[in-house]
Homo-oligomer: A and B are copies of this chain.
Amino acid sequence: MTYQEIVPLLTRILTPGQVSISDTDRALHAKDQSFHQPSKPDVIVWPESALQVSQILILANEYEIPLTAWGAGTSLEGNPIPVRGGILLSLERMNKIIAIQADDFQVTVQPGLGYKDLNVQLARYGLFFAPDPGANASIGGMIANNAAGSRTVRYGATRDNVLRMEVVLADGQVIHVGSRSVKQSAGFDLVHLFIGSEGTLGIITEATLRLSPIPEHISAIVAAFNTVQAAVETVVAVRGSGLDPAALEFLDAFSAQMLIEAEGLDLLPKPTLFMEFHAAHSSALDAGIKIVEAICRDFGTISFQATTNATERKKLWDARHRHYEIVVRTHPDQNFLVTDTCVPLSAYIELVNFIEQQIRQPNRIEAPLVGHAGDGNIHVLIPFDQNFSYERAQQLNAQLVKKAISLGGTCTGEHGVGLGKARFMPIEHGGALEVMRMIKKTLDPKGILNPGKIFLEDAPND
């Protein structure tokens, strides 16, 4: 069936303003923030209810039309690129807060809502949704990719903060998984099956999220070290202290230098840790800072700064969150492949050394390095341009991924598999990949949902 034949069927379900085949709209939904090959959908739809999503899926399933869900397009692995064309289902207009259940520390939302917008609304209740991927991702996209960020070390990834969802299956059936109870042992954990499934098993149309109280007192700490080794050993010691940091981020000397130049931060161009601590009372915060300072000094910090001033803290984290944007802006002739390996904490130093010795030095590339060190997650921004091809950058990522997996880690801590990591799934999962494939086949027998993702045989060559 061609898209010319699909459109009249879709317009029977939706209003004219909810369907587009314009080139502009198709181009706007052809790529996310990654550098994977763009691919335009045939038609974009903007459903406004689970019922409409269901009706669209019944149609797509009947005529075996590929259907890819779209949140905010901020993903970094091509996750929502409609590589087979077909229907692009944008959840942009399903962006409402259904209910704020403040006494339960929960909120029920539609998937198109941005998490930053959500947190603005929640602030008046003294609550926030903790996972923070940086960009203004949609809640649905965060769930689909199991997004995480700098606060995950304390508050968990998206996976750890979803209690209940409404999901539309490939055949249009609307189901509810999980419950608003924070403890659940009633049968198979379908909530977690759909989280991180990247729109390949069903379309999330509603989610109840677990919220956290906004901490009364927050400190920010910046510590610089002469060596990566010292910085990373400090991370392990801080994690072992029982202090429960709310963020524990590593920046290499190159990245620190960029934040100095671009943002005027008062840093040293050295391996640096950014930390944040949350507490219900200021004395706990002060005591915590003293413990952290002692640990940092034990490992030879050459600069230790702590603040409880909100403005200074905001400046620091804004700069950290702009790191990727700064890298891109200051290197107009280059693109960057963002890696996402994650390893057990004890292997972090080995992974970072591997990056230095096997990736950066032999290839003479200036690849900035930032990481959610407290979680063992590291992003290398591998530059590619006319002189250093995308293929070479991909080869370096493959080397890095294989190293991470050999260290007990994963090819992706928070960006998802999407297009770029399907090739690593067999080495990471072995026989378990076949179980994933069987589940995919069971829930989406015609393979209409976000085809070309997660499974290698489905992926386009790129």
Contacts and interface: CB of A to CB of B under 8 A. Distances in A.
A253 B184 CA distance: 27
A187 B442 contact: no
A105 interface: yes
B145 A429 contact: no
Interface stretch (A17-25, A192-200, A297-305): A192-200
A134 interface: no
Contacts of A240: 103, 105, 126, 213
Contacts of A409: 179-181
Interface in A230-264: 236, 239-244
Contact of A175 (B243, B404, B415, B435): B435
Interface stretch (A8-16, A81-89, A277-285): A277-285
Interface stretch (A326-334, A341-349, A354-362): A341-349
Interface string A283-316: 1101110010000000000000000000000000
Contact of A185 (B174, B284, B287, B416): B416
A151 interface: no
Interface in A157-204: 157, 159-160, 169, 173-177, 179-193, 195-197, 201
Contact of A159 (B189, B201, B291, B442): B189
Interface in A210-228: 213-216
A141 interface: no
User: For the complex formed by this chain, how many copies does it contain in all?
Assistant: 2
Max chain B Cβ within 10 angstroms of own Cβ: one of A176, A181, A201, A288: A181
A438 interface: yes
A239 B435 contact: no
Given A175-B431, A242-B216, A280-B243, A410 B186 contact: yes
A408 interface: yes
A344 B408 contact: no
A447 to B, nearest CB: 15
Contact of A411 (B147, B186, B340, B405): B186
Nearest to A279: B284
A27 interface: no
A417 interface: yes
A136 interface: no
10 contacts: A173-B431, A182-B342, A183-B372, A185-B196, A186-B411, A186-B412, A187-B429, A189-B195, A216-B242, A284-B287
Interface of A: 101, 103-106, 126, 145-148, 152, 156-157, 159-160, 169, 173-177, 179-193, 195-197, 201, 213-216, 236, 239-244, 278-281, 283-284, 286-288, 291, 340, 342-346, 372, 375-377, 404-405, 408-417, 421, 424-425, 428-433, 435-436, 438-443, 454
Given A145-B185, A193-B439, A438-B443, 4 more contacts: A146-B185, A179-B405, A186-B428, A441-B442
